[in-house]
């Protein structure tokens, strides 16, 4: 390994105190970086929740569902997860979905309710099936809900 030519072997090395300060400074910078990333993620979640609860299903949302279905068909599948959202956005924090309660649609709010209503109006009459499942369990608690659209045959 080549040696640095500007390194003075006779120079006084940094003190232990200086090295401790440098380590602490780096730790503080890393902590600040993590806090900024966490704040950005929290903002993203808050923005999603606001959009989810206040806005309507958009053409882009519908096109995204259709793309998911087309991609699944292309892959030879009969089901696709077409939408996901935090279970905290259900009126019961996802308990009815998690327990398989038949009244789970009553707990939907915002865009999830609109997606469900669109399914009832357009998808179900066309032979599609929709199921909702908890897809993540952070800390053992319901996390995200996934809506799965299925177009497979009922016959086995």
- pLDDT tens readout for residues 31-83: 999 999 999 888 888 888 888 888 899 999 999 999 999 999 999 999 999 99
Q: Quick one: which of 83, 92, 88 has its CA closest to 112?
A: 83
pLDDT band for position 26 (50/70/90)? Answer: very high
Q: What is the pTM of this model?
A: 0.73
Lowest mean pLDDT among 96-110, 127-141, 142-156: 142-156
- The predicted pLDDT at position 44 comes to 87
Q: Answer yes or no: is pLDDT of 13 > 60.
A: yes
114 neighbors 58 (Cβ within 8 angstroms) = no
pLDDT 10s digits, 87-131: 999 999 999 999 999 999 999 999 999 999 999 999 999 999 999
Distances (CA, A) of 61 to 5, 33, 83, 112: 60, 33, 9, 11
Domain boundaries, the chain: 14-54, 57-150
Nearest to 145 by CA among 78, 96, 97, 91: 97
Q: Which one has a higher pLDDT value, 9 or 63?
A: 63
Is pLDDT of 11 > 90? no
Whole-number Å distance between alpha carbons of 18 and 5: 24
Coil, strand or helix at 146: strand
pLDDT confidence bin for 3, thresholds 50/70/90: low
């Amino acid at each position: 390994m080549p040696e640095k030519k500007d390194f003075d072997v006779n120079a006084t090395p940094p003190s232990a105190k200086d090295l401790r300060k440098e380590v602490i400074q780096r730790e503080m910078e890393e902590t600040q970086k993590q806090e900024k990333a966490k704040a950005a993620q929290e903002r993203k979640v808050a923005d999603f929740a606001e959009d989810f609860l206040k806005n309507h299903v958009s053409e882009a949302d519908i096109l995204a569902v259709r793309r998911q279905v087309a991609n699944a068909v292309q892959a030879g599948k009969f089901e696709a997860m077409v939408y996901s959202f935090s279970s905290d956005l259900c009126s019961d924090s996802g308990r009815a979905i998690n327990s398989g309660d038949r009244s789970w649609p009553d707990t939907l709010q915002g865009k999830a309710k609109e997606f469900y209503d669109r399914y009832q109006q357009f998808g179900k009459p066309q032979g599609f099936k929709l199921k909702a499942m908890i897809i993540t369990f952070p800390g053992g608690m319901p996390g995200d809900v996934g809506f799965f659209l299925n177009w497979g045959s009922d016959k086995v």
